[in-house]
């Protein structure tokens, strides 16, 4: 490494005082502290998750968002802001000001297929984050909510934490590391660098409320003790409104009956409001996106369910707005609002993950493609759809309405995937408050704009690494001058094999259905000036232009590590480095007395494969409690002692629930679960209690359908924290076992033939 990139940590380096033999003969000297530029604004980024272009009131929605609307009314709305069509890459782009593939974050945190642009969404060290840069310029830095830029393989307390928030520039962090979580009972909460061992969240908990409370506490604490001229940077990244679509009953109730007219009508209403308020121009409203059924084609007996999904979603967005209002009130109360630059946006467009008719348990349905046909009806009729023990996702028709006036969804480079709300509020720096800007701004432009406002140049080196410069460009002139032109002319897009490029007024896009053989030549061409909603494919009319734009895409794609294209289905998430495969295929011994083991680390040990689970424990008459709990109320397996029996319960996620009860005798013994994967999602187990070579009791347990992936809670030993795998354990707190438990051992075996999980080792050889 070149000497000019090395730091000198010697405390005498550069010191300008005088050292004599005595204190009286010496002259002290202190270096000037790092200070932000005089008058530098606080910066608050409010990053929402899967919120479409038309899902704030100020962008045409009927959902009540008075606080977001307040920011728009006293700030600016942009109608030509583009992002990256998926969460982790978009976060990396916003934080680093670089194209996500260029920093190794071209896809999600689930997998590392062995290519530079797709390193499990971990941002490369030569790309300092906005938090790192602002901290170097005298800011305090705080992050709350969803992170999602740490590889799943590094989610344990003993893992390398170099990609956790505190190691990427934040002074404080409170939230979760992964992609999604239960709003009423998050599977993990991290504070600083530690997992918080929460046993029960209580009946009134909701994650967005909690995150806002933590953010407010951080801001008030900062204002109370920081130097008056020290600004702060707050990264407030809610998991809302990402699936699971859960909301508080009072928020859902506000929208009862509001969506009975269906997504076609709601889409038309939103479009009309957008036109009337000037948030869009004289743009065409396309037909429903391909594959989206008309409301009139939905089964009449299920329309109330379809409406209910959207009522839940609206309540979830409404709650976001309530909490944004709380943060704004705190800024106003502490005198910080006037000189705080607030950016509100979404990581990508609205999602289609719920399919044609939605999902009552999307966490399972997206993996197994199965759901009991009566499940949504049962949950709705019992008043619990959208509650803690459910995992809904609205039908894609509502996602299509969420992206009004655009077509398509999250995961695609079509405007429905990449055009989202973008609101900037800065009373001290914006003159024409309430205006709508049509200038093109990209997600990578946010970080360079903030540095530009501070008058700070991007460093050539940072923390011992040569940097490569921002890919984004500043749009600071647009904040002050509506006539300022866009500073960018070109941007490529790639996600899951889907490609796109905008150059000037022209855009090309190529969509690759998941799991199909990639067609390198199926390009679309649009004139965005004449056709901003991408209704008219002009590829056949302009072959020479198309060819030039394809060449430009290839140039940018290779330069940014966006190749090779990969449109595999969920098997993509199972492509790992050899060390990761070794990690999930070796014997694990887990011990009680810890904060719990994360689901992403323990799930592969039992996923549609043979395994042997053993747990030695001591039983005495009267002992009752949980021996272990793997998973949560939506899916998992648990063993507990109750009424003189060891009960092993398999919760298959609404499809089936199976239990075996074995009488237990006093003394030391071993619980043994010998699990066999039979293929086609069928599994069975033999459960035994043994003492030495003696079988004390045994019985069979149906464990079908197989566990493929646990999304929420992980492994607890000696208790069951948060939601309960077995309903029989509810109402008993964490139901801790009072006797001795030595350890729990899982010996993973062969995976089921033909299972999607079994394709992990050969996935890198798949040729689509």
- Whole-number Cα distances in Å, 218 to 233, 234, 426: 11, 9, 21
Q: How far apart are alpha carbons 744 and 199 in whole angstroms?
A: 20
User: What is the structure's pLDDT at 367?
Assistant: 74
With a cut of 50, which residues of the chain have pLDDT below it?
1-3, 759-768
Burial of 427 (0-12, 13-18, 19+ CB in 10 A): middle
In this prediction the pTM is 0.96
Q: Give the pLDDT of residue 758.
A: 63
**Predicted local distance difference test score (pLDDT) of residue 578:** 72
CA distance 414 to 46: 24
Q: Which residues pair with 465 in a beta bridge?
A: 462
CA distance 317 to 630: 31
Please tell me the predicted confidence (pLDDT) of residue 6. Answer: 67
First-to-last alpha carbon distance for the chain, in angstroms, is 41
Per-residue pLDDT, 1 = 38
Q: What is the spatial distance between Cα 77 and Cα 743, in angstroms, rounded to a whole number?
A: 56
Structure confidence at residue 764 (pLDDT): 39
**HSE-up (13 A, CA, CB side) for residue 548:** 7
Give per-residue pLDDT as tens, 355-371: 999 999 987 787 777 78
Question: pLDDT at position 765, please?
Answer: 37
DSSP 453: H
> Which residue has tokens 């005798």?
665
Q: Which two tokens stand for residue 12?
A: 């005498």
- List all residues 6 or more positions away from 193 whose beta carbon is below 8 Å from its beta carbon: 161, 164, 166
Rounded to 5°, angle at Cα 147 from 107 and 125: 65
By the 10 Å C-beta count (0-12 exposed, 13-18 middle, 19+ buried), 459 is classed as middle
Report the sign of the C-alpha dihedral through residues 535, 541, 543, 544, in that order. negative
CA distance 655 to 303: 23
Contact predicate 234/223, CB 8 Å: no
The domains found in the chain, sorted by start residue, are: 42-479 (3.40.720.10), 490-567 (3.30.1120.10), 572-765 (2.60.120.200)
Query: Is residue 648 within 8 Å of residue 639, measured between CB atoms?
Result: yes
Separation CA 631–CA 635 (nearest Å): 6
Give me the residue label for tokens 């991290």. Answer: 190
Evaluate whether 330 touches 142 at the Cβ level (below 8 Å).
Answer: no
Q: Cβ distance 619 to 669 under 8 Å?
A: yes
**Kind and range of the H or E element at 663?**
strand 657-663
């Amino acid at each position: 490494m070149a000497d000019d990139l090395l730091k000198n940590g010697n405390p005498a380096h550069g010191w300008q005082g005088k050292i004599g033999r005595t204190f009286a003969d010496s002259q002290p000297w202190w270096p000037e502290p790092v200070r932000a530029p005089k008058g530098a604004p606080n910066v608050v980024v409010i990053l929402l998750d899967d919120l479409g272009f038309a899902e704030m009131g100020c962008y045409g929605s009927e959902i009540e968002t008075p606080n977001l609307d307040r920011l728009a009314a006293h700030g600016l709305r942009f109608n030509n802001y583009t992002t990256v069509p998926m969460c982790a890459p978009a976060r990396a782009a916003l934080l680093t000001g670089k194209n996500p593939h260029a920093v190794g974050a071209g896809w999600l945190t689930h997998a590392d297929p062995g290519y530079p642009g797709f390193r499990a969404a971990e941002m490369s060290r030569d790309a300092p984050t906005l938090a790192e840069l602002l901290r170097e310029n005298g800011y305090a830095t705080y992050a709350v909510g969803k992170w999602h830029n740490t590889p799943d393989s590094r989610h344990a307390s003993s893992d390398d934490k170099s990609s956790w928030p505190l190691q990427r520039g934040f002074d404080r962090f409170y939230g979760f590391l992964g992609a999604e979580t239960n709003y009423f009972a998050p599977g993990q909460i991290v504070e600083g660098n530690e997992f918080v061992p929460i046993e029960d969240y209580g009946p009134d908990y909701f994650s967005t409320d909690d995150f806002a409370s933590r953010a407010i506490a951080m801001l008030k604490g900062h204002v109370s003790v920081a130097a008056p001229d020290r600004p702060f940077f707050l990264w407030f990244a809610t998991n809302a409104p990402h699936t699971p679509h859960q909301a508080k009953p009072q928020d859902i109730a506000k929208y009862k009956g509001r969506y009975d007219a269906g997504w076609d009508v709601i889409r038309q209403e939103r479009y009309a409001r957008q036109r009337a308020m000037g948030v869009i121009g004289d743009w065409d409203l396309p037909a429903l996106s391909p594959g989206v059924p008309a409301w009139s084609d939905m089964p009449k007996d299920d329309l109330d369910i379809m409406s209910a999904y959207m009522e839940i979603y609206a309540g979830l967005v409404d709650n976001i707005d309530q909490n944004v209002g709380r943060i704004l009130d705190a800024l106003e109360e502490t005198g910080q609002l006037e000189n705080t630059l607030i950016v509100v946006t979404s990581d990508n467009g609205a999602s289609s993950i719920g399919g044609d008719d939605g999902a009552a348990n999307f966490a399972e349905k997206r993996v197994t493609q199965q759901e009991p046909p009566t499940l949504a009806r049962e949950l709705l009729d019992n008043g619990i759809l959208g509650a803690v023990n459910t995992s809904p996702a609205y039908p894609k028709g509502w996602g299509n309405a969420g992206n009004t006036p655009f077509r398509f969804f999250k995961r695609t480079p079509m405007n429905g995937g990449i055009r989202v709300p973008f609101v900037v509020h800065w009373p001290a720096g914006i003159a024409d408050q309430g205006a709508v800007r049509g200038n093109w701004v990209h997600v990578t432009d946010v970080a360079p704009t903030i540095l530009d406002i501070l008058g700070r140049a991007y460093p050539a080196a940072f923390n011992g690494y040569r940097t490569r410069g921002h890919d984004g460009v500043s749009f600071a002139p647009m904040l002050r001058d509506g006539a300022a032109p866009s500073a960018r002319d070109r941007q490529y897009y790639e996600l899951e094999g889907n490609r796109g490029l905008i150059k000037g007024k022209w855009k090309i896009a190529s969509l690759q259905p998941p799991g199909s053989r990639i067609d390198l030549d199926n390009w679309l061409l649009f004139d965005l000036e004449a056709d901003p909603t991408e209704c008219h494919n002009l590829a056949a009319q302009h072959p020479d232009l198309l060819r030039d734009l394809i060449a430009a895409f290839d140039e940018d794609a290779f330069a940014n590590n966006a190749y090779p294209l990969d449109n595999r289905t969920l098997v993509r998430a199972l492509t790992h480095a050899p060390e990761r495969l070794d990690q999930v295929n070796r014997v694990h011994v887990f011990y009680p007395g810890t904060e719990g083991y994360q689901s992403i680390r323990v799930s592969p040990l039992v996923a549609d494969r043979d395994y042997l689970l053993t747990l030695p424990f001591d039983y005495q008459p009267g002992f009752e409690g949980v021996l272990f709990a793997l998973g949560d109320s939506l899916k998992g397996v648990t063993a507990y002692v109750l009424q003189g029996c060891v009960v092993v319960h398999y919760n298959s996620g609404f499809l089936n629930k199976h239990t075996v009860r074995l009488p237990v005798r006093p003394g030391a013994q071993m619980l043994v679960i010998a699990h066999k994967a039979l293929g086609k999602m069928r599994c069975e187990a033999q459960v035994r209690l043994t003492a030495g070579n003696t079988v004390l009791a045994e019985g069979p347990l149906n464990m079908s359908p197989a566990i493929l992936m646990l999304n929420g809670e992980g492994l607890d030993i000696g208790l069951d924290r948060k939601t309960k795998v077995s309903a029989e354990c509810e109402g008993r707190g964490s139901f801790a076992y009072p006797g001795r438990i030595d350890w729990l051992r899982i010996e993973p075996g062969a995976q089921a033939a033909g299972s999607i999980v079994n394709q992990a080792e050969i996935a890198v050889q798949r040729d689509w």
